[in-house]
Copies of this chain bind each other. A is one copy, B any other.
Amino acid sequence: MNEFIDLEDVQFDIDREGRCGFPEVVYGEGKTKETILKIFQTMLKYNIDGLATRVSDDKGQFLEQELMRDKIHFSYNKVAKTFRIHKQDGKRSSVYGKVAVISAGTSDLPVAEEAKETVLWTGAEAVFIQDVGVAGPHRLHAKLPLLREADAIVVVAGMEGALPSVVGGFVKVPVIAVPTSVGYGASFGGLAALLGMLNSCASNVTVVNIDAGFKAGYVAGLIAGKGRTKN
């Protein structure tokens, strides 16, 4: 069995979905736009719904033009810097669970959007709740019914990173906390939020890397779609 497609500079892991439940995701940061395009074309040939993250504006516009020319369906989220391609028309016949994505402040938006796009790519429904930081407590309270419908919750917060603990104390599902690099001074590029989340007093909180919206969305989608992706 030939498990890799050799694309010269990249060795695309064609077998990832079989082994891990989802196809390999393209991390756009170290790759040229041509390379990303080449990977997308390979994905389409193998009938894979692709996701690329950290796609800068110029790479995104290039992909947009190339894929439109070939009449391929795609979703390009300029805030999230994500690019998704759809083997058919991008309409999903079925949805696998529901994930809530919450952010503490408006500056956390790009990371929250990356999480949301990844959730959608995993096949789950995404509920998006913005600007419910700890300083305004009733904003969160108003959203509790929405949160309680979710199978997993992604909480995105910078600065002190207190929101996951507060959310965690209200719900029965796993909370995946994403610290962001939003803040200044003693936030030390997200370190304060990261440490705060790791020390959360809520038992249902696990943590991912600073600004790792993708990884939080991925795991939340995995939890929401449980059974679909069972080993």
Contacts and interface: CB of A to CB of B under 8 A. Distances in A.
Contacts of A10: 106, 131
| Copies, count | 8
Given A172-B231, A218-B204, A106 B9 contact: yes
A169 B222 contact: no
A82 interface: no
Contacts of A174: 219, 222-223
Given A131-B10, A161-B160, A187 B172 contact: no
Interface residues on A, range: 35 or more
Given A3-B138, A20-B169, A135-B168, 19 more contacts: A11-B136, A13-B136, A16-B136, A20-B171, A20-B203, A134-B166, A134-B169, A135-B202, A150-B231, A172-B230, A173-B229, A174-B223, A176-B206, A186-B191, A186-B198, A194-B198, A198-B208, A204-B222, A207-B207
